[in-house]
Amino acid sequence: CGIFGVVGVPDAANFVALGLHALQHRGQEAGGIVSWAPELGFSSARRFGYVRDNFTSKTLMDTLPGSLAMGHVRYSTAGHKGQTAIRDVQPLFAEFAMGGCAIAHNGNLTNAEAMKHELIQAGSIFQSSSDTECIIHLMARSIQKTIPERMKDALRRVEGAFSVIAMTRSKLIGVRDPLGVRPLVLGRVGNGWALSSETCALDIIGAEFVREIEPGEMVIITPDGIESFHPFAPAKSRFCIFEYVYFSRPDSVIGGRSVYETRRQIGVELAREAPVEADLVCPVPDSGTPAAIGFSQESGIPYAMGIIRNQYMGRTFIEPTAEIRNMGVRLKLNVNRAIIAGKRVVLVDDSVVRGTTSQKIREMILDAGAKEVHFRIASPPTSWPCFYGVDTPDREKLLAAHMTEEQMRVHLGVDSLKFVSLEGLYRATGQEEGRTASPRFCDACFSGEYPIRPSDVVDSGRLQ
Ligand code: 5GP
Ligand code: SF4
Ligand code: MG
């Protein structure tokens, strides 16, 4: 998911709509914006579909006045996956004795089921299937006097990955979980402030990047300034390495490092680890493009656009059902026959999950007359599901969970298949020493080492 908030600028909701549009790659199912203005109090709009199809209407935007606003774009990883109900669309909103509070969450709580059960036993009435709603009920039960204090109470009780933006009638609040699994950055816009999942959304509104919210940090922002708190026990940070591989936009900067440059460097590592004789290096667009550029530069094999992407399609993976995903690949990608015919082609993609994309592409590229097809993948084999906010499927659907590299090569029907090593991936992030005994990132979907216990799935015996 993507989250964005602004305080201290007129017509804040318009900035939020722009910010969410720049974060659309993080979630395409639905979006919502909440604003606050003295004359109207809180206003909110939640819609299915793209930001540009909803939050550009003047009639709608006129209902979201004020200089304080925040929003969310949704990609379902919890609750009713793929059949989002409008009541699951964030920001969620609640009235407490001390005033209203809106909340938007990127990530996934790993103890939400147990927590929800406990809260329902104690009398809470849930209105959505979203794990985020637990935070609201925990806040309702807190005995603290202010909303930020109640929020600290609530967030100390949940486990998992959370970057959260919340707002009261006067404050914008940002929090990251103790390990900082999901991103959250602070920007300066005019005389006000912005919070955003990624820096690319600061660029779109002309905001200046100030700094990242630290893992385990809570910031409370008013037009007058920022207060910072560290409400959790200190922990070693474990940012999601897959944000670098796929999830974030290449024009974002994370941890002082360009996402594009990291992806290009993964391609360089791949070319060193798994060289091959070929005529062309082609990306599977757009997710494989920077790594293909790096592979081409390092190997000296010419780069070409052998597969053309229809720019009017969204991300295929994020379309939740298998039927849509299967069709999606062909609606989205087509082979550029003229340049592929008779060639030995290296295809570079960011990841293999179910193998659907790779299989379709291999078919298309052989149909187009390619002489050889070599897959190079800019991440290690995805063998484990993510419980922290990326919708990797159950383990049995992950190709790498039950096949060796050679079995996957045969299954995909290609001449060779190589994944970058976990070491190479860490080097590409700028960590010269590779992956150390105490790694800097979460890499659980590749290593199976979960830095946060996935309590709900472990306790219910669902983690195979
Ligand atoms: P597959 O077709 O193997 O199931 O999925 C791999 C493709 O999905 C890649 O091209 C990758 O760009 C894309 N993708 C989109 N979202 C995700 C995600 O959340 N996780 C992973 N691993 N790949 C994703
Ligand atoms: Fe990111 Fe993978 Fe960890 Fe999930 S399991 S947070 S996708 S690195
Ligand atoms: Mg892709």
Q: Which atom of ligand 1 is nearest to the CA of 390?
A: 19
Predicted confidence (pLDDT) per residue in 37-96, tens digit = 999 999 999 999 999 999 999 999 999 999 999 999 998 765 455 567 899 999 999 999
- As a whole number, the mean pLDDT across the chain is 94
Q: Looking at the predicted structure, is the pLDDT value of residue 444 above 90? A: yes
Q: Looking at the predicted structure, is the pLDDT value of residue 320 above 80? A: no
The average pLDDT across 166-176 equals 98
Confidence of residue 357 (pLDDT cuts 50, 70, 90): confident
pTM for the full predicted model: 0.95
Residue type, 178: P
Q: Is 1 a catalytic residue?
A: yes
Q: Do domains 2-237 and 258-435 have the same CATH topology?
A: no
Pair of tokens at residue 183: 């991103």
Confidence of residue 312 (pLDDT cuts 50, 70, 90): confident
Confidence of residue 315 (pLDDT cuts 50, 70, 90): low
The predicted pLDDT at position 250 comes to 98
Residues 6+ apart with CB under 8 A from 306: 280, 282, 335, 336, 339, 340, 343, 345, 347, 365
Q: Looking at the predicted structure, is the pLDDT value of residue 327 above 70? A: no
442 annotated binding-site participant: yes
User: Which of 3.40.920.10, 2.60.40.1930, 3.60.20.10, 3.30.1330.10 is the CATH number of 2-237?
Assistant: 3.60.20.10
Please state which of the ranges 52-66, 173-187, 318-332, 447-461 shows the lowest mean pLDDT. Answer: 318-332
**Which residues have a beta carbon within 5 Å of ligand 3, which is an ion?**
287
Where do the structural domains in the chain lie, given as residue ranges?
2-237, 258-435
Q: Looking at the predicted structure, is the pLDDT value of residue 322 above 70? A: no
The predicted pLDDT at position 323 comes to 67
124 annotated binding-site participant: no
Q: Looking at the predicted structure, is the pLDDT value of residue 177 above 60? A: yes
Q: What are the residues facing 451 on neighbouring strands?
A: none
Q: Best substitution site from 240, 353, 360, 397 to test ligand 1's pocket, by max atoms within 8 Å of Cβ? A: 353
Neighbours of 147 (CB within 10 A): 24
Where b means 16+ CB within 10 Å and e means fewer, 274-292 reads: bebebbbbbbbbebbbbbb
The predicted pLDDT at position 326 comes to 64
CA distance 111 to 107: 12
The predicted pLDDT at position 310 comes to 84
| C-alpha distances in Å from residue 398, one per residue of 119, 205, 264, 362, 394 | 34, 39, 25, 18, 7
Ligand 1 shell residues, CB under 6 Å: 246, 284, 287, 315, 317-318, 349-358, 382, 390-392
CA distance 30 to 50: 7
- ipTM of the modeled complex: 0.92
CA distance 173 to 150: 12
Confidence of residue 307 (pLDDT cuts 50, 70, 90): very high
Q: What is the CATH number of domain 258-435?
A: 3.40.50.2020
Contact status, residue 79 vs residue 30, Cβ threshold 8 Å: no
Cα 289 to ligand 3 centroid, rounded to whole Å: 9
Q: Which residue has the least CA distance to atom 5 on ligand 1? A: 353
The predicted pLDDT at position 462 comes to 82
Q: Best substitution site from 182, 241, 379 to test ligand 2's pocket, by max atoms within 8 Å of Cβ? A: 241
Confidence of residue 325 (pLDDT cuts 50, 70, 90): low
Confidence of residue 461 (pLDDT cuts 50, 70, 90): confident
The predicted pLDDT at position 311 comes to 81
Predicted confidence (pLDDT) per residue in 274-305, tens digit = 999 999 999 999 999 999 999 999 999 999 99
Ligand 2 shell residues, CB under 6 Å: 181, 240-242, 386, 388, 390, 442-445
287 annotated binding-site participant: yes
Confidence of residue 464 (pLDDT cuts 50, 70, 90): low
Cα 356 to ligand 1 centroid, rounded to whole Å: 9
Residue 166: which of 246, 83, 105 has the closest Cα? 105
349 annotated binding-site participant: yes
Q: Which atom of ligand 1 is nearest to the CA of 391?
A: 19
Confidence of residue 332 (pLDDT cuts 50, 70, 90): confident
| C-alpha distances in Å from residue 156, one per residue of 25, 140, 149, 389 | 30, 14, 11, 19
Q: Best substitution site from 241, 246, 397 to test ligand 1's pocket, by max atoms within 8 Å of Cβ? A: 246
